[in-house]
């Protein structure tokens, strides 16, 4: 039986304070839960019998078979699906050796959980294994972020760090950033490795990081010099930049 206390606990995970205190986060939906079950320890899983019947051996500390009514009571979604899971956070640790030979996304003050989740999903698509976030970037375990990753959180490791210190410790690799006054992305030399900094939705990259960028990139609009929207959404810009980096790698001779 699904108790009121369990419902209260599940709903509390919408709040970062309680996610931090419990070291847990919430995931909802058939595909999302299925995608990350093998990568995170599951503390509690609520599922309809029909969903469980399609699964193999589900590993969960506590598993409750519930009905639609119970799912609706516990869910944070407008349209609940067949399963809700509480997972234990994963403590990611990175070293310079992990990053020096690959592309890494560096997120400076991203505030929208949907943007962060979408960027994690993009990283997964483009084979980027690590994302380093500034300490004021939205929580990766925010319920909206987790939903927006569509399961990519299982494969992409996300870290929080002092970005100036991290970048200073990685002097041997290129540091890219996106700017409205940068050089045309499609005409710049792009390496197979490096840090790609994407800035805050409204303020862009903060000055202390601007000073550490050694390759300023600009995504040109089309037609050139025509009037257009002022800038791109940060997740969209991330997709364009990552696509060009990977295109160069795939088609370089």
**253 residues of the chain, pLDDT tens digit each:** 789 999 999 999 999 999 999 999 999 999 999 999 999 999 999 999 999 998 888 899 999 999 999 999 999 999 999 999 999 998 887 788 888 899 999 999 999 999 999 999 999 999 999 999 999 999 999 999 999 999 999 999 999 999 999 999 988 899 999 998 999 999 999 999 999 999 999 999 999 999 999 999 999 988 877 777 777 999 999 999 999 999 998 876 4
For CA atoms 59, 114, 17, 153, the dihedral sign is positive
Q: What's the confidence (pLDDT) of residue 161?
A: 94
Q: Which residues contact 146 (CB under 8 A, 6 or more apart)?
A: 25, 26, 27, 32, 117, 140, 153
Do residues 38 and 126 both lie within one domain? no
Question: Is the domain of 189 the same as that of 100?
Answer: yes
CB-count exposure of residue 125 (10 Å: 0-12, 13-18, 19+)? middle
Same domain assignment for residues 75 and 150 = no
Shared domain for 14 and 113, answered yes or no, is no
Chain centre distance of CA 108: 13
Same domain flag for 148 and 215:
yes
> What is the distance in angstroms between the CA of the first residue and the CA of the last residue of the chain?
62
Q: Of 88, 120, 149, which residue is a domain's last?
A: 88
Q: Are 25 and 108 part of one and the same domain? A: no
* 175 and 221 part of one domain: yes
User: Of 72, 88, 104, which residue constitutes the final position of a domain?
Assistant: 88
Domain count, the chain: 2
- Of the residues 53, 88, 123, which one is the last residue of a structural domain? 88
Q: Where are the beta strands (DSSP E) in the chain?
A: 24-28, 42-47, 63-65, 83-88, 103-107, 130-134, 157-161, 175-184, 194-198, 215-218
Query: For residue 57, what pLDDT is reported?
Result: 86
> What is the extent of the structural domain holding 65?
4-88
Would you say the C-alpha torsion 159, 27, 156, 243 has a positive or negative sign? negative
Residues 6+ apart with CB under 8 A from 110: 116, 119, 133, 137, 138, 198, 200, 201, 234
Q: What is the pLDDT of residue 253?
A: 46
């Amino acid at each position: 039986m699904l108790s009121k206390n369990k419902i209260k606990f599940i709903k509390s995970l919408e709040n970062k304070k309680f996610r931090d205190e419990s070291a847990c986060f919430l995931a909802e939906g058939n595909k999302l839960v299925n995608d990350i079950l093998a990568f995170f320890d599951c503390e509690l899983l609520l599922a309809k019998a029909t969903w469980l019947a399609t699964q193999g051996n589900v590993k969960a500390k506590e598993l409750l078979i519930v009905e639609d009514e119970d799912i609706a009571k516990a869910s944070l979604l407008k349209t609940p699906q067949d399963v809700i899971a509480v997972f234990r956070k994963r403590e990611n640790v990175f070293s310079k050796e992990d990053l020096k030979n690959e592309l890494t996304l560096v997120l400076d003050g991203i505030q929208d959980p949907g943007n962060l989740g979408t960027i994690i999903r993009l990283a997964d698509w483009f084979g980027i294994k690590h994302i380093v976030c500034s300490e004021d970037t939205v929580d990766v375990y925010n319920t909206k972020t987790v939903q927006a990753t569509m399961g990519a959180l299982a494969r992409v490791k996300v870290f929080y760090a002092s970005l100036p210190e991290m970048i200073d410790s990685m002097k041997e690799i290129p540091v890219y950033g996106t700017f409205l006054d940068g050089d045309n992305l499609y005409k710049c030399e792009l390496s197979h490795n490096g840090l790609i900094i994407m800035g805050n939705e409204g303020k862009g990259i903060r000055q202390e990081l601007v000073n550490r960028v050694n390759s300023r990139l600009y995504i040109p609009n089309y037609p050139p010099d025509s009037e257009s929207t002022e800038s791109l959404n940060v997740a969209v810009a991330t997709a364009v930049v990552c696509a060009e980096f990977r295109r160069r790698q795939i088609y370089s001779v």
